[in-house]
């Protein structure tokens, strides 16, 4: 059976991949005895960062193993794609301190207070490095709106201010089952699966 190692130790991400991708043995970095690496994600796009992460463990696994890595974040149209690749650290850099999720939400809501166009894209890019060295990327996107206030406490990231018009609520208000329909990561992995099945 073919093996895939994902450049993460996030149990949720590993379990999601195992559930969706059959016919492969899937491992985390830890399971492959790879310690956490201090990888500098200095790419200008999610695609570049996903490839950087995948390449960081390329020489630490066997030659017959597929490598996966992903990067994701939100891009607000009216703010020229902010926070983009800095989704996790933009607020920290601006406020010059460690920040809570609530502080991240409030900073973005404040930036949007006088803006009518509230379109936001949640994008996930999955990078695959095959044993022969070929690199492919798969993009998943979900469109929503920046909410006017923090609503709901389910999920993670910007879920409580990522409003889905079709549902009339934020991702933070949705159950796990409801939210699965709007998972950018799931959409990217579905494209990856189709690619692997056609090989």
List, by residue number, the catalytic residues.
71
Structure tokens at 12: 């949720």
Q: Which of 72, 71, 65 is nearest to 5 (CA)?
A: 65
Whether residue 9 contacts residue 37, with contact meaning beta carbons closer than 8 Å, is answered with no
N-terminal to C-terminal alpha carbon distance within the chain: 15
Q: Which of 121, 172, 165, 119 is nearest to 142 (CA)?
A: 121
Q: How many CB atoms lie within 10 A of CB 21?
A: 17
């Amino acid at each position: 059976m073919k093996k895939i190692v994902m450049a993460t130790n996030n149990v949720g991400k590993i379990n999601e991949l195992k559930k969706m991708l059959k016919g492969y043995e899937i491992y985390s970095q830890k399971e492959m005895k790879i310690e956490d690496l201090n990888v500098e994600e200095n790419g200008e796009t999610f695609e570049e960062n996903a490839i950087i992460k995948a390449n960081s463990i390329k020489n630490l696994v066997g030659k017959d193993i597929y490598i996966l890595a992903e990067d994701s974040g939100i891009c607000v149209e009216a703010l020229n794609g902010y926070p983009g690749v800095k989704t996790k650290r933009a607020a920290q850099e601006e406020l010059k301190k460690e920040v809570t999720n609530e502080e991240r939400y409030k900073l973005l809501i404040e930036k949007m207070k006088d803006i009518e166009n509230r379109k936001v894209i949640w994008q996930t890019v999955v990078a695959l490095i095959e044993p022969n060295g070929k690199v492919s990327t798969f993009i998943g996107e979900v469109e929503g709106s920046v909410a006017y206030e923090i609503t709901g406490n389910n999920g993670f990231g910007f879920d409580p201010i990522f409003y889905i018009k079709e549902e009339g609520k934020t991702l933070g208000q949705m159950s796990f089952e409801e939210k699965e329909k709007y998972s950018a990561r799931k959409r990217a992995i579905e494209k990856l699966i189709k690619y692997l099945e056609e090989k």
